[in-house]
Structures are given as structure tokens and as C-alpha cells.
């Protein structure tokens, strides 16, 4: 079983819609959760982090964490073509070792 699992996609949404990206993790003791965006040929860019159960909003992005279900998600409201990228979920365990999912490819259709 992989430490972090994501649907690889591709996920396609129309411009202006809400994109929903999901991630599950296996280490119940994980402490920190991150979402990175990676454009083709570029390095990952940190867009959200969340440490406590519940929702965290930053502009058009909302991260949701449910530690009991070992589930973290990212919602992108009013999706734009510039949001088209691969989104990586990362989880840091109690030893502060990071595990990344393989990423979900998102395409926003104009």
C-alpha cells in the first residue's frame, strides 16, 4: 500500500466550475498536509498547507482535512485555464519525512 494515494486523472472541468482533488494517506500519525501544483516541465509549487481538521481557505483554494478518515482534499473554485496542471498531495509523518502522491492531472476547458 502506498503512503499517499491520489487519482491520477485526468480530471477535466469547464472554466468557472469547481475542481475537486482528493488524496488519502496510510500513516495515521501524519501531522502535516500539503498541496503542490506542478506545471509541465516545472518544479512543484506550494499552494496550500493544512495541519488541523477542517477547512482552510486561501483565495480560490480550499483545503479540507479529515484525520479520522485519513483524507485530504483540495477544492479550486472558479477554475481558470491557468489552473491546468498536475496537483501533488504531500504528507509529512511524525518523523517529518515527506511522502508524495503521484499527482492528479487537471485540465480546465475554456
Partner 1 sequence: KAGVTQTPRYLIKTRGQQVTLSCSPISGHRSVSWYQQTPGQGLQFLFEYFSETQRNKGNFPGRFSGRQFSNSRSEMNVSTLELGDSALYLCASSFRPYWSEYNEQFFGPGTRLTVL
Binding site for partner 1 (CB under 8 A): 31-32, 34, 36, 42-46, 49, 51, 88, 90, 92, 95-103
Cβ closer to partner 1: 31 or 78? 31
Here the contacts of 16-19 (C-beta below 8 Å, separation 24 or greater) are 16/78, 16/79, 17/79, 17/108, 18/75, 18/76, 18/77, 18/78, 18/79, 19/75, 19/76, 19/79, 19/83, 19/106, 19/108
Residue 83 C-beta: closest distance to partner 1, Å: 19
Cβ closer to partner 1: 83 or 101? 101
Residue 52 C-beta: closest distance to partner 1, Å: 11
Amino acid at each position: 500500500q502506498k503512503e499517499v494515494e491520489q487519482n491520477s486523472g485526468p480530471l477535466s472541468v469547464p472554466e468557472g466550475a469547481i475542481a475537486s482533488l482528493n488524496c488519502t494517506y496510510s500513516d495515521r500519525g501524519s501531522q502535516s498536509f500539503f498541496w503542490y501544483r506542478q506545471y509541465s516541465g516545472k518544479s512543484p509549487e506550494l499552494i496550500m498547507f493544512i495541519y488541523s481538521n477542517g477547512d482552510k481557505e486561501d483565495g480560490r483554494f480550499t483545503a479540507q482535512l479529515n484525520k479520522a478518515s485519513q483524507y485530504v482534499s483540495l477544492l479550486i473554485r472558479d477554475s481558470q485555464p491557468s489552473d491546468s496542471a498536475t496537483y501533488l498531495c504531500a504528507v509529512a509523518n511524525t518523523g517529518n519525512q515527506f511522502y508524495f502522491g503521484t499527482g492528479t492531472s487537471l485540465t480546465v476547458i475554456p
